[in-house]
């Protein structure tokens, strides 16, 4: 049962344009969402997060949007740069203090930013 | 640089053997979690330790076990290795009280032959 889904395995975007990566979830108990970026031979690197009490969070070129009613979130990267080429994972966690750092991950989207 | 270090980076084991993977958490982090990432998949939660006690477990059999030490370093032990255990094993350290502090190490690549 895939509770976090990233339906696009890959995405190609031109440098300078916007990259939009999508993520859907099914578990209504999820209340905190994170995006990680992963290069080959490295561990996932935290990018940005959002709590379910918000619908948008912005950090520099990265913005995450959350639509709770649709159980959908998206990561926008503007402008896209060649160094953004990596695999992006969406992750979610559910509430209490004891479980807040147990993450459920999607399968990832490989972003390629072309010149 | 996340401050989370894992060893070894790569290893090859034979089916039926046992393996121990190690993790040194970021300074001050009191929680460590382990994840298994098979090829083409997202990381899957194995278990979590908080103050040296198991604090949540994913859908993994008991032959996956762990330890957390007073200095917040941690071990993942896998007994009776199976071919399907071949994967990248990731350690993540965090503070229980802060949900955006989950930092991963670079992982240990395990190949079971």
A-interface mutation test, from B7, B21, B24, B43, most A Cβ less than 10 A away: B43
Give mean pLDDT, residues B41-57: 91
Task: Please tell me if residue A25 touches chain B, with a CB cutoff of 8 Å.
Answer: no
As a whole number, the mean pLDDT across chain A is: 93
Is A64:A50 a contact under the CB 8 Å cutoff? Answer: yes
Predicted confidence (pLDDT) per residue in B99-110, tens digit? 777 889 999 999
Check pLDDT > 70 for residue A97.
no
Q: What is the pLDDT of residue A8?
A: 95
Q: Which of residues 21-80 of B touch A (CB under 8 A)?
A: 31, 33, 35, 40-45, 48, 50, 55-56, 58
Residue A67 has pLDDT above 80, yes or no: yes
The predicted pLDDT at position A98 comes to 54
- CA angle, B52 then B54 then B59, to 5°: 150
Q: Cα separation of A16 and A26, whole Å?
A: 33
Residue B97 has pLDDT above 70, yes or no: no
Query: A108 exposed, middle or buried (CB, 10 Å; 0-12, 13-18, 19+)?
Result: buried
Q: How many angstroms separate the CA atoms of B73 and B52, rounded?
A: 10
Question: Chain B contact for A107, CB < 8 A?
Answer: yes
**Does position B40 have pLDDT exceeding 90, yes or no?**
no
Q: What is the pLDDT at residue A62?
A: 98
Contact A101 B96 (CB under 8 A): yes
Give the number of A-B residue pairs with CB atoms closer than 8 Å: 71
pLDDT digits (tens, 9 = 90+) for B14-24: 999 999 999 99
Element (H, E) at A20: strand A19-25
Q: For residue A78, what pLDDT band results from cuts at 50, 70 and 90? A: very high
pLDDT single digits (tens) B77-96: 999 999 999 999 999 998 76
pLDDT tens for A11-26 read 999 999 999 999 999 9
Q: Are A108 and B103 in contact (CB under 8 A)?
A: no
């Amino acid at each position: 049962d895939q509770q976090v889904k990233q339906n696009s395995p890959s995405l190609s975007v031109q440098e300078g344009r916007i990259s939009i990566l999508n993520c859907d979830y099914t578990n209504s108990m999820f209340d905190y969402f994170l995006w990680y970026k992963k290069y080959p031979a490295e561990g996932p690197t935290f990018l940005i997060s959002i709590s379910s009490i918000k619908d948008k969070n912005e950090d520099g070129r990265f913005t995450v949007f959350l639509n709770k009613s649709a159980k959908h979130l998206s990561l926008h990267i503007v402008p896209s740069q060649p160094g953004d080429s990596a695999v992006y994972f969406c992750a979610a966690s559910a509430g209490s203090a004891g479980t807040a750092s147990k993450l459920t991950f999607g399968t990832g989207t490989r972003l390629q930013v072309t010149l | 640089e996340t401050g989370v270090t894992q060893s070894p980076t790569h290893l090859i084991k034979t089916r039926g053997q046992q393996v121990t993977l190690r993790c040194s958490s970021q300074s001050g982090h009191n929680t460590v979690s382990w994840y298994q990432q098979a090829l083409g998949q997202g990381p899957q939660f194995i278990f979590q330790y908080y103050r040296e006690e198991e604090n949540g477990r994913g859908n993994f059999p008991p032959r996956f076990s762990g330890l957390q030490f007073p200095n917040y370093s941690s071990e993942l032990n896998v007994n009776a290795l199976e071919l399907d255990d071949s994967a990248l094993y990731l350690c993540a350290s965090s503070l229980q009280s802060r949900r955006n502090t989950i930092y991963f190490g670079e992982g240990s690549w395990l190949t079971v032959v």
